[in-house]
Structure 1
Amino acid sequence: MQTRRQLLHRSAVLAAIAALGPLLPSLAQAAEPLRMRTIPASGEMLPVIGLGTSRTHDISLDDVEMEALLDVLRVFVEGGAKVIDTAPSYGNADRVVGELVQRLDARDQVFLATKVSSTGRERGMAQIEASFKALQTDTIDLIQVHNLQDTSTQLGLLRELKEQGRVRYIGVTHYVESAHDRLLDVLKQEKVDFVQFNYSVGERNAEKRLLPYCADNGIATLINRPFTRGNLLSRVKGKPLPAWAAEIDASSWAQLLLKFILAEPAVTTVIPATSNPRYMADNILAGQGRLPDERQRQLIVEAFR
């Protein structure tokens, strides 16, 4: 039986989508709140579905597309998601995210994650201060050293900001499998709360050492490139969803890809980027319902070959 909280959550998702047009067919069956996982460093819980902003949020503040992005954020928040991942190197994304959150008055409902990608302490601090201004906040939930650029210097700076209470968590990132060994080396040498990297049906290297290390050492993980920038979805375009998808409460190919990732217990939150409110709703559904077992994960792998 659904709890009152579950019913309110479901109603919020339905209301958010109803305002955008015909409901996604699967929303009629959605009966669970968004799955949550723990940040090992603190015990704080995060929803497993987040939002990436690379490319999708690099627009001007007066662009007409801001309305669609506001709808994305509305569905995101009302669907129970929290983690928004952005970066100064994503063009205007920091400013766009800050403005959208301000317009929706949703700062207390989101977990803001950005990055630093500068060399040297002075430049790093200048970039970080610019992110505080762009995001329109006094506290940033997570700042990550982007692509391991000047890692030691920037992590030292981030630790100072964490001690001051301006930053809640710190981490490191990369987006290609060839950098996974470097990420591991950093994790063994530097204490961080989060690490962000690529992992998907098409890029499984993280299963070998990176994900197990994070699980064993209490490091939260953010997963980027879950669709390998759309390449995986292009492989199944026009194909009907297999009947066995219903066994894991999946109603789209995107949900299958996200559920494959979420079946790995060391994954904290996956952050697919989108500028489409309906895709945002579809992604949220991946964080509800059953997850695949090993047999079902193999079926997903085979479906995308």
Structure 2
Amino acid sequence: MLPSRRTILAGAALLPAALQASAQSAAQSAAPAAAPADALIRRPIPSSGEALPVIGIGTSRRYEVEPVPDKVAPLREAVERFVALGGTVIDTAPSYGTAEDVLGLILPGPLREKVFLASKVSEPGRAAGAAQIERSFERLRTPVIDLVAVHNLVDPENNLATLRDLKARKRIRYLGVTVWRDSQFPELEALMRREALDAIQVNYAIDNRAAAERILPLAQERGMAVMVNVPFGRDRLFKAVQGRALPPWAAEFDCASWPQFFLKYVIAHPAVTCPIPGMAKASYVEDNLGAARGRLPDATTRAKMEALIDAL
């Protein structure tokens, strides 16, 4: 069984006293009382210049709960805390079980106005894809979805045509495509070269760096925003560092926890706009958003971070 995030965070108790004090100080400096919401690092969507905070919420798995009040309550708390601290990007998909329904319960009203909402289309065929998107509007209870992407490159020709029409009618604001496996990169690269996309979503983490070879540089070249899924490697990274102390030099880039270590590595790549880790608890929101504040590792430090993780 993979360790829980709680188990990993508990590993901070293994730090020497001086480092523990330093980590606590860094965490306190990232708390909302000490850092206003606008202190979050932001990156622009190249096609428009609209700037987004560099940490978003992904809803795969963790938001796939029964859409009833008691099940939704802790997720509502996480989303409300996320928005209160300056976060905006929330990513979902029709294929994420009940996640769209759950967000439809959480977001209507003033909260929706503060959220950059992203979803996907994953049905082949023009009519089926269009119908799925219409269901997303209904499930999310919103007249406009900020970004809709073709999920896992399913029938991109037909689905992108539908998305262009929706964008022209101002029912969506941006369009893109997503992948989640390295094996999809050749097809993704070809699509990025022939299509005008506002955004891509791709798998990238400190222990899975293949996207940095061609995809991320191409996104910069083509002026596409980059959302990053599974920045924790579907918990692989938490398992790798279980019981290990955060290195003292992490404080040099204002890093106070292993989740921040992994996220700051991803954010530090200049092509990355916004990783979207799953955050189902307010405490995870608070910790993860710490990665969107303060200094980021430079190229030399990123290489040092890679070497540390590769050696585990």
TM over 0.5: yes
**Alignment of structure 1 residues 148-227 onto 2, 5 Å:** 148-227=153-232
Q: Which position in structure 2 is the counterpart of 1:96? A: 102
Q: Which position in structure 2 is the counterpart of 1:86? A: 92
Q: Which position in structure 2 is the counterpart of 1:138? A: 143
SS in 1 for 2:70: coil
Q: 2-side partners of 1:29 and 1:141: how far apart? A: 32
Q: 1-side partners of 2:277 and 2:179: how far apart? A: 15
Q: Which position in structure 1 is the counterpart of 2:42? A: 36
**Alignment of structure 1 residues 58-97 onto 2, 5 Å:** 58-62=64-68, 64-97=70-103
> Residue 63 of structure 1: CA displacement?
5.6
Q: Which position in structure 2 is the counterpart of 1:47? A: 53
> Residue 167 of structure 1: CA displacement?
0.6
SS in 2 for 1:304: helix
SS in 2 for 1:211: helix
Q: 2-side partners of 1:198 and 1:246: how far apart? A: 26
- Runs of at least 4 residues of structure 1 off by over 4 A? none
Q: 2-side partners of 1:273 and 1:107: how far apart? A: 19
2:271 paired with 1:301: no
Instruction: Calculate the aligned-residue CA RMSD, in Å.
Output: 1.3
Q: Which position in structure 2 is the counterpart of 1:121? A: 126
Q: 2-side partners of 1:190 and 1:295: how far apart? A: 34
**TM-score in terms of structure 1 length:** 0.89
2:227 aligned partner, one-letter code: L
**TM-score in terms of structure 2 length:** 0.88
Aligned residues: 281
1:91 aligned partner, one-letter code: G
2:256 paired with 1:251: yes
Q: 1-side partners of 2:235 and 2:42: how far apart? A: 25
Q: 2-side partners of 1:65 and 1:279: how far apart? A: 17
Report percent identity of matched pairs.
43
SS in 2 for 1:144: strand
SS in 1 for 2:185: helix
> Residue 27 of structure 1: CA displacement?
3.6
**Alignment of structure 1 residues 265-304 onto 2, 5 Å:** 265-304=270-309
> Residue 300 of structure 1: CA displacement?
1.6
Q: 2-side partners of 1:143 and 1:200: how far apart? A: 23
2:40 aligned partner, one-letter code: L
> Residue 190 of structure 1: CA displacement?
1.3
Report if aligned partners of 2:27, 2:256 keep a CA contact under 8 Å in 1. no
2:228 aligned partner, one-letter code: I
> Residue 302 of structure 1: CA displacement?
2.5
SS in 1 for 2:263: helix
SS in 2 for 1:137: coil
1:191-238 deviation digits (Å, cap 9, x = unpaired)? 110000001111101111111111111101100010111111111112
2:292 aligned partner, one-letter code: G
Q: Which position in structure 2 is the counterpart of 1:6? A: none
> Residue 98 of structure 1: CA displacement?
1.8
Q: 1-side partners of 2:284 and 2:112: how far apart? A: 22
1:253 aligned partner, one-letter code: W
2:91 aligned partner, one-letter code: D
> Residue 64 of structure 1: CA displacement?
2.5
**Structure 1 residues 66-75 or 158-167, which shifts more?**
66-75
Q: 2-side partners of 1:117 and 1:35: how far apart? A: 31
> Residue 298 of structure 1: CA displacement?
1.9
1:56 aligned partner, one-letter code: R
SS in 1 for 2:107: helix
